[in-house]
Chain A
Amino acid sequence: KAGVTQTPRYLIKTRGQQVTLSCSPISGHRSVSWYQQTPGQGLQFLFEYFSETQRNKGNFPGRFSGRQFSNSRSEMNVSTLELGDSALYLCASSWGQGATGAQYFGPGTRLLVL
């Protein structure tokens, strides 16, 4: 099975712009979660989608949003970018039902905000 894929892998934006990141989960996985990784804060949960519905949300401002499509692919959007949004954004997929199973992570999208 192909692993979780994320596009683009690298992105440079300027303050005030907006950005959309994409994640394709492992085939058959219905849950997609997003995490932000920074040197200072570590890995922080952004949100989780299951069957096109946001099921969990982390403690991030409303500028961070996401969605999931019927094929389980997910996108996250960050509007009005700030310098502090520079981070590695990781997507993870899982079956999403029953006991918490393994989450399979993608390679990440590295975002630099100038």
Chain B
Amino acid sequence: AQRVTQPEKLLSVFKGAPVELKCNYSYSGSPELFWYVQYSRQRLQLLLRHISRESIKGFTADLNKGETSFHLKKPFAQEEDSAMYYCALSGKGAQKLVFGQGTRLTINP
């Protein structure tokens, strides 16, 4: 079964502090992992995906197949990072996304 777990519904950190949003997955096969973000009053949008190995807005995420995790990290949080973050997976080449329940990140000034 495909499953994505984001253990924290809410996460609050101070500006300038490091941020880590946790994501664990269950998938029999080679998944593709993504982080999507939804800022206030905006659409859901792709933040980054594991196959690109990129850093977007200072965020990075490493796929750890041994621990079946894809945690999202940023060394220094900024107030504009406050948003809802969703971890998602799909089968290779498939367009079906399985989402976690989301983590609401709040950056305090």
Contact = CB atoms under 8 A, between A and B. Distances in A.
Please list the 9 inter-chain residue pairs (A to B) with the smallest Cβ-Cβ separation, ordered nearest first: A43-B99, A102-B46, A105-B44, A56-B96, A42-B101, A100-B32, A100-B90, A48-B95, A105-B43
B43 A55 contact: no
Contacts of A100: 32, 34, 49, 90-95
22 contacts: A31-B95, A35-B97, A42-B102, A43-B86, A43-B99, A44-B99, A45-B96, A45-B98, A56-B96, A90-B44, A92-B44, A96-B95, A100-B34, A100-B94, A102-B46, A102-B49, A103-B95, A105-B43, A105-B44, A105-B45, A106-B43, A107-B43
Interface of A: 3, 31, 33, 35, 42-45, 48, 50, 55-56, 58, 90, 92, 94, 96, 98-100, 102-108
